[in-house]
Amino acid sequence: ASESYLRKYGKLQSLEDITGHRFLNFCQNMNNIPSIKWLNEMVPKEQISFSASDYHILMDAAENGLGIVAMDCRIAELKTDLQLLLPAPSAWRSTIWLVTHRDVHFSPKVQAFTALIKQCLK
């Protein structure tokens, strides 16, 4: 969150301390990202103040005080005006990402390959 947001709404004390806070989220379902899954399951829709299709847009919105963006600290470090509110739970941490192009993501061969990779990395 930005300093201006924190002055207006205060800091989160825990992931359960969401009352009165505003959050930023993706406009499409991104429940494969643990922090976004948490947002979709735990934060009431009326507390989502802005939605976008890209992390860069969400970070810009957070920099401008529109709300809290839940993201990996390595990504958030790109924006020096954002402040860490809480350390990420261990379930949100990932050391590897499997990225596919949206045009082929749902093709049978890409789905078979990603399933194999996920199984091998368990």
Digit-coded pLDDT (tens) for 55-104: 889 999 999 999 999 877 767 677 778 888 988 888 887 777 788 888 99
- Residue 98 resides in a domain: no
Residue 100 domain flag: no
Report the number of distinct structural domains present in the chain.
1
Q: What is the CATH number of the domain that holds 72?
A: 3.40.190.10
Mean per-residue pLDDT for 4-31?
A: 92
Would residue 19 count as lying in a domain? yes
Q: Is residue 114 one of the residues assigned to a domain?
A: no
Q: Is residue 108 part of a domain?
A: no
Give how far Cα 118 sits from Cα of 77, 89, 104, 108, Å.
Answer: 28, 21, 18, 15
Q: Which amino acid is at 50?
A: F
Which pLDDT score is estimated for 78?
Answer: 73
pLDDT of 10: 94
Q: Give residue 71's domain range.
A: 3-93
Q: Is residue 80 part of a domain?
A: yes
Please check whether residue 119 lies inside any domain of the structure: no
The stretch 10-38 carries a mean pLDDT of: 91
Lowest-confidence pick of 15-24, 52-61, 65-74, 103-112: 65-74
- Work out whether the CA dihedral 67, 12, 17, 20 comes out positive or negative: negative
Q: What pLDDT does 76 receive?
A: 66
Please report whether residue 118 resides in a domain.
no
Residue 34 in this model has a pLDDT that exceeds 80: yes
